[in-house]
Structure 1
Amino acid sequence: MALQGKVETEFEIKASADQFYNVFRSQAHQVPNATPDHIQGIEVHEGDWETHGAVKSWKYTVEGNAEVFKEKVEFDDANRIVTQVGVEGHVMKDFKNIKAIYQVIPKGDGSLAKLSVEYEKLREDVPTPDKYLNLMANVTKDIDAHLVKA
């Protein structure tokens, strides 16, 4: 059984790629307002809301459990990619490395959201991080709905 891998999904959203990307790029503090069932809070530890390399903690609920994810964020403005590199938190008890990657690509009047989780497990008995990919998909759909009605 491989310890390293990647899980991914993609689906269309109604918001423009720039609209969606800018939420993570400069308005991450607004995410809990758009998706309160999944994200309960975000706190900056180093840098600020817009800085590449900023360190933030996310308080979230996954499969009914409250967890915390401390990440170092990386932005690729040209390709509208946000990468959240795991630093600390609940997920790090099972994974040596984990990256949550959001990419949005313009498509018609909306966008194509491509989500992935790259990981390296600490042990073979650790399941693939599908629950975190599902969380990302739910957050993306909630943000999209919030942007479309705004």
Structure 2
Amino acid sequence: MSDSSSLAGQVEVEVKIKAPAEKFYEMNTEKSQHVAEAAPSNVQACDLHDGEWGTVGSVVVWNYFHDGKAKVAKEIVEIVDPEKRLVTSRVVEGDLMEDYKSFLITVQVTPEQEGLGSVVKLHFDYEKIDENVVHPETLFPFFVEMIKGVDEHLMSEE
């Protein structure tokens, strides 16, 4: 956990899902536009503004609902590692930038050892604009609910 006087911090959470790691990774990279369909109470739209889905340098705009408000996040994909099933995106515009100088989101999915399901690790690396901004743990329930919605959607396709 970050020191309260520090503006920079990192937090992460792990979510167990039933879907295979490959399917979740594919949804998180090449099929992000389908997240709104899979988790409509969290995400209203995901649009590609530049580049190609699942590629470094692509620009994606998310319309989402958090803390009772419609919000927007524009992010640039910085890392795509199919071997590690990892994607890192930097938020460059939108509501989060009102509170943070920088906000990096890394999502990695790994298969469970027993071969049943997967674990999604969500990691935030951020710098707050000042010490009055809270650490972004309030985003975890939102992301956990979205991940579970995507999981249910992927499992219903089986």
Contact 2:63/2:73 (CA < 8 Å) preserved in 1?
yes
TM-fit CA distance, 1:134: 2.3
Write the deviation string for residues 45-73 of structure 1: whole angstroms up to 9, x where unpaired. Answer: 11022322100110000111110000011
Tell me the TM-score normalized by structure 2: 0.91
Deviates most, 127-136 or 89-98: 127-136
- 1:75 is displaced (CA, Å) by 1.2
Q: CA deviation at 1:40?
A: 0.2
Match of 1:133 among 122, 140, 145: 140
Does 1:105 find its partner at 2:110?
A: yes
> Is the 8 Å Cα contact of residues 45 and 56 (structure 1) preserved in structure 2?
yes
Q: Is the 8 A contact 2:42 2:64 kept in 1?
A: yes
Give the conservation status (yes or no) of the 8 Å contact 1:68–1:89. Answer: yes
The residue that corresponds to 2:51 in the other structure is: 47
Match of 2:129 in 1: 122
- Amino acid of the structure 1 residue aligned with 2:9: G
Q: Give the drift of 1:117.
A: 1.1
Q: Sequence identity of aligned pairs in percent?
A: 38
- Alignment counterpart, residue 65 of structure 1, candidates 66, 69, 79: 69
Shift of 1:83: 1.3
Contact 2:8 2:126 in 1 (8 A): yes
What SS class does the counterpart of residue 62 from structure 2 fall into?
strand
Measured in 1, the distance between the counterparts of 2:152 and 2:30 equals: 18
Q: CA 1:104 to 1:141, structure 2 compared with 1: closer, same or farther past 3 Å?
A: same
Q: 1 CA distance for matches of 2:24 and 2:55?
A: 17
In 1, are the aligned partners of 2:54 and 2:80 still within 8 Å (CA)? Answer: no
Paired AA for residue 126 in structure 1? V
TM-score by length of 1: 0.95
Quote the RMSD (CA, aligned, Å).
Answer: 1.0
Q: How many residues align?
A: 150
Q: Indicate if the aligned counterparts of 1:44 and 1:54 stay in contact, CA closer than 8 A.
A: yes
Q: Is 1:144 aligned to 2:148, yes or no?
A: no
Stretches of structure 1 lacking an aligned partner (at least 5 in a row): none
